[in-house]
Every structure is written in structure tokens, then in C-alpha cells.
Amino acid sequence: MTSNYRADHVGSFLRPAELLEARRSHAPAGQLHALEDLHIARVLLRQKDLGLGLFTDGELRRSNFMSDFTDAVEGFDFGDAVPRDWDEDKESVAKKPVAVSSIAGIVKAPLRQRQPLTGRELPFLRERSPGPIKMTMPSATQFPAISFKYGVTDRIYRDPFALLEAVTAIMTGDLKTLAGSGVSYLQIDAPRYSYFLDPRWCDWMRTELRVDVDEMLSASLRADNACFAAARQPGVTLAIHLCRGNNRSHWYAQGGYDAIAERLFHELAVDRFLLEYDDVRSGSFAPLKFVPKGKIVVLGLVSTKRAMLESKKDLLRRIDEASTVIPLDQLAISPQCGFASTMEGNNLTETDQWAKLELVVETAREVWG
């Protein structure tokens, strides 16, 4: 199903200070849940007031964008996580790529699902959402890159491909159920495709992950397609979001979509591609020529990494530029990523966040009516 949501958003919102403090201080479960309910109700109303046609809970119940998976699945060890290794200058890129697993953990035991992946989120959304529900989930491709450790994980799963198969098996079962549970829009967040865009990360995959890059790309596309096939139901929009890192306004990869565009856009069985296009690291719009008819490209033109509000004039100019490569009717607009891929959030305020989303809605109305 293709849906013409012209103003889109990736899903996560900044957490208010009292919610962050409650989580950090290990507040009683009942108190934490009540705070989450309170602030999710608030952000749902704010999305409605802004005129957005899709509603998420802002991932406010999660500690990071993939924690719905790691909270629901046994087998991850957070004590053995690889430490962060990037340049503290948010405008810099790490000189030596290191996969960051501190928010996902290392797989040390067979993966076993103990609860629905979105079981803590969906009931409240079904009850309180003022419109179509958008649910976000991490791509299965996220975990081989940051949760596989040789000498540890390979005692359970022989290589990163075997771990990918195990994660995919869990996700496909859950997505089939989720797609029939009143969700209108399912989005898989897949930042690890950026590894294939950056020569440094391609080298890292060969030497550290010990995989053939082309083979890993094929396996990644198969895994995500298995998830989309499980979720494919009438009335459900399927989307994938790609970015180059978004933890606390940092980034870890750079490069245009050119290297994988033809395979990515033709092989992934999705309705919408949410693509990062907020700065020069994302490359040009030229790869969009490979997007088949009938699929929507959501241009992530508005940065969630910095507070400065973009110019509507510049956004209109860039949409016009993209429309010379792909028809305007196949385009939409959004921020480039979520505002809080981890619960600490990016380096801007809630006021900045809502101003940027308001700009997205206003721009979409001016372009598409």
C-alpha cells in the first residue's frame, strides 16, 4: 500500500527532564509508567495540533530506538558491550570505525523472545491515538553489526549471518501479528545500510566483522524483505528509514546512496523510503532515479541534530531540485531522523523540535496542498 502522507516524521521525540530522571533513578515501575502515559498523551496531542497525519508515542517508553527488541528478547549482555569510540566533535567522523554496542549489548546466549516487541506500547496507542498509528521497529540488520563479538557470540551463532537469521525469525513472527493489530504504518529503522555507503565501514566489515560486503548486503536485503513480507497486509503502509548515525547529535558514516541505490530501491519491498538528506554527507538526489514508480521517497531535509531552524525557502528549493530526478508526486518531507534515537536525545530543545515539525507540515501543505 502506498500512502500519501506528505508530512512525515521518523518517530522519536525528546524526553522531558522528569521522565529522564525517573528512568535514571530507577523509579518504581508504576510511577514510571504513569509518567510515560502522561507525556505520551501530551505528544500525541501536539502531533494533532501541528496537523501531522501520523501518530507515534515518540518512543518515550524506550531507552533507545532498538530497546523494544532487547527488552523483549533474552540473550543480550550489556556488561560486555563495546564502548563508544567517536570524535566528541559532532561535526567530525570517527578516525577509526568501531561498532557501538553499548545500547544493544553483545549476544551471549541463544535469543529467546519473552514478550511482544511492542507489547508495552501498542495498547495505550490504540486507546489514545487521535489518528493512524505509526509504529517503529529496529531492522534485524542492526544486530549483527553491533551485537556480534567473535569469541563470544560465535559460540552460539557461528557467524554474523547466523545471528541475522535468528533475529529475523523473531521479528517476522512479531510483525505478522503487529500488522493485524490496528497499526496503519510500520517503519523499520535501518541505519546499518550506511556501512555500505562509506569505504571506511566497508573495510571494517571485511576486517572486523569478517564478512564479504556484497554477501552481507544481499543478506541484509533478504532479512528486511522477510520482515516486510510478514507485515504485508491491506491497509498497512510499510516503510524503511536510513540514516548515518544519530546518537546525541553525533554521526558515524558518510556517503551518498549511489553505491547501493539500484539494489536498495528495486529490491526492498516497501512503500516508502525515509532518506537522510539534511547535509552534504548524504550526497546528491541523483540516486533517486532508481526508485520505481509507485514508491514514495520521504526527503529528510530538516536536521534533528542541530537547533537552528531551516529556511522554508531552502526546503522548497531542495524539493524542487529532487523533483527533477523523481516526480513530485513520489515525494514527501520529514526530519532527517528522530529527535532522540537514545533517551538522552539530540542537542536541541523541545521548542526546537516542535518548530521543526511545524515547518515540515507547513512546507508539505505549500507543496502538495
pLDDT at 366: 97
What is the rounded CA–CA span in Å between residue 122 and residue 270?
Answer: 22
Residue range 302-316: mean pLDDT, rounded: 96
Integer distance in angstroms from the first to the last C-alpha of the chain? 21
Q: What is the pLDDT of residue 345?
A: 87
Biggest CA–CA distance in the chain, Å, is 56
Residue 25 pLDDT > 50, yes or no? yes
Give me the pLDDT at residue 87, please: 37
What is d(CA 290, CA 326) in angstroms, rounded to the nearest whole number? 9
d(CA 175, CA 189): 14
What pLDDT, on a 0 to 100 scale, did the predictor assign at position 81? 53
pLDDT, one tens digit per residue, over 223-250 is: 999 999 999 999 999 999 999 878 777 7
187 vs 198: CA distance, rounded Å: 24
Domains of the chain in sequence order: 17-368 (3.20.20.210)
Q: What pLDDT shows up at residue 101? A: 46
- Which residues, 6+ apart, have CB-to-CB distance to 170 below 8 Å? 69, 73, 111, 113, 117
Report the alpha-carbon angle 340-141-60, nearest 5.
25
Percentage of the residues of the chain whose pLDDT score is greater than 70: 93
What is the DSSP code string of 177-199? HHHTTT-SEEEEE-GGGGGGG-H
Interval 106-130 mean pLDDT: 94
At CB < 8 A and 24+ separation, what contacts does 36-39 make? 36/60, 36/61, 37/124, 39/15
Residues linked to residue 238 through DSSP beta bridges, in sequence order: 186
Q: Which three cell numbers stand for residue 14?
A: 525528546
pLDDT confidence tier of residue 158, bands split at 50, 70 and 90: very high
pLDDT value, residue 3:
58
Note the pLDDT of residue 102: 54
Inter-CA distances, 118 with 30, 35, 65, 177, Å: 18, 18, 12, 11
pLDDT at 13 over 60: yes
Cell 501531522, residue?
52
